[in-house]
Amino acid sequence: MTHVQGRARRAGAALAAVLTWAGLLTGCSADGPGPLGMGGAMGKPPAPEDVIRVTPDDGAKGVHPGDRLRIRVPGGRLEKVTVVRSQDAQDSPVPGHISEDGLTWLPDQDRLALAAKYTADVVALDSRGRRSARHTTFTTYVPDERFIGYVTPENRSTVGTGMIVSLAFSRDIGNRAAVERAVRVTARPPVEIRPHWFGKNRLDFRPEHYWKPGTEVTVDLDLRDVEGARGVYGLQDKSFSFTVGRSQVSVVDAAKHTMDVTRDGQLLATVPITAGAPKHPSYNGKMVVMDMLEVTRMNSQTVGFGGEYDIPDVPHAMKLTDSGTFLHGNYWAPEAPGVANVSHGCVGLRDVKGGGSDTPAGWFFDRSLVGDVIEVVHSKDKTVAPDNGLGGWNMPWDAWKAGGAVK
C-alpha cells in the first residue's frame, strides 16, 4: 500500500464516521423532541405564536373590558400559564384554569380590568412533543369618565337602630342592575337586607325591621370597572363597616307637645317639645338622625321660605330630612315647648343660648346617635317621603323590595 492510498483510506473512514454521527443526530431530531427538548440539535421547532395562541393579541392597546382573555394550543397541551395584572402600580396574579384536555386556559373571572396591563407567560408542547414558550402583553381601555358612590353612614361608626345604608352616586346610573349586583350589604347576625333605588343616582339598603342592637354591618363595593352608564365606569373596590348601638326610638306627639324617649324598650323620659305651627306643620312619620351639630345657623331662605328667620347659633341641632327638618334646641321661644307649636316644621326642645348640658335639648343630644329614629305623630302635615333624608322606614316592605333593579 502506498502512502497516498493509506492517507485516502483514513480520510474515507473519518468521513464515514462523520456521516454516521450526522445520521444519528438527524434521526434523533427529525420527528422527536431530541435530547435538548426543543426539537434537538438540528430540528427547527415551529414559531411560538403558531403553537400558543393568546387573545387579545400581543401588544394590543385599549382592549375593552368585555373582551375575553383566552390562551390555547391547536394540539399538544399547555404545561404552565402565568398571567399577571398590573394596575395602580400593583401586580396581581390572575387566577385561571387549564381545561381537562390541556388545550385551553381561561381566567376565573371573565371581565378584564380597566386601565391595566396584562402579561402572559406560557409554556406548551405541540402535537409532536416539542416545547415552546411565549411572552405577551396587552393593555386595557382607560376611560375618561368614572363614578363613585358616597356611603352613609361613616366607616367604623356606631349608629342607631334606624340607620339606612345609602349610596349617593356621583353620576346618573343607567345600568342599575349591574351596579346593584356590585354592592353587597351583609349583617352579623344575618338578616335579610334589600335594595331600593330612588331616582338615577341613589341606592338605599335596609332590613324589614330596625336593626337589632349589636349588629355588625359590612358594605362591600365592587364597583371598579362596572359600567354604570354608557362609557362611565366605577372606580371603587373597598369595604365599609359599622356597628348598631343600643335601640333608641323617640315618638313626638305634635298634638300633645311631648316626646317619649324609649331605649331598648324602656321609657327613659317624656320631654316637652314644640312642633310646626299650623301654617307650617311638621311632617308625620319616621325620620332618622342624619347629622348632629353642636351649633349651626338656620336661615329660612335656604329651605324655601322668605326672610322669616335667620338664627346664627341654633344649639344641639340634629338633621332629620334633606328638606331642612331638624330637632334642635330652642332658646328664643322658651315658653313654647310643652304648650304650643310655633316652629316652621322643626321639633324644638327647651334650651339656652349657647346650649346647656342640663337643658332638655342638651340632655337629649348627649344621649343620641346618628341613626336614631324620631317618629312624629298627630301632626296636620303629610307623611315624610321615603327619599327625604333616610325616610325609607315609611315605605311598606313589599314596596321597598319592589324597588330593586335585580329581579
CB atoms within 10 A of CB 21: 10
* DSSP for residue 393: G
Other C-beta atoms closer than 10 Å to the C-beta of 284 total 19
Determine whether 135 is an active site residue: no
* Integer Cα distance of 16 and 55 in angstroms: 50
SS3 399: helix
Helices (H), 153-192: 176-181
Question: Could you tell me if 262 and 252 are in contact, meaning their C-beta atoms sit under 8 angstroms apart?
Answer: no
Count CA atoms within 13 Å of residue 97 on its CB side: 6
Set of cell numbers at residue 400: 321597598
CB environment 193-218: b (16+ within 10 A), e (fewer): bbbbbbeebbbbbbbeebbeeebebe
8 A C-beta contact, residue 178 and residue 65: no
Catalytic residue among 196, 316, 328, 344: 328
Asked if 328 is an active-site residue, the reply is: yes
The catalytic residue positions are 328, 346
